[in-house]
Amino acid sequence: MIFSWESFVEAVTLTSIQYPQLRVAYLSQCILESGRGSSFLFGVAGNPTGIKWRPELQGFAARKFLVTPTEPLGAEWCFWDKP
């Protein structure tokens, strides 16, 4: 695991965002997508929402090719090494 679920939740809680009321919606989506940090993608790519790589994410996330349960032939996923 790259970072813990607890450190991710803490980072979301403490990070200043334009619309703070969206924190609950974002964390809810992360809980649903990653099973509270128990998913394969969260563990190996620090990706709590299952976001696939696309060019407009350059500078926000790194690109990582992974074979996953939902992409058995592999796909490029977003990778984060810190919450």
9 backbone dihedrals φ, ψ, rounded to 5°: -60, -40
Tokens for 27, please give them.
């964390």
> In the predicted model, what is the mean pLDDT of the chain?
96
Is residue 14 within 8 Å of 43, Cβ to Cβ? no
- 8-state DSSP, 53: P
pLDDT value of residue 74: 97
Mind listing the pLDDT tens digit for each residue in 44-83? 999 999 999 999 999 999 999 999 988 999 999 999 999 9
Rounded Cα–Cα distance for residues 34 and 26 (Å) = 12
pTM: 0.90
pLDDT value of residue 40: 95
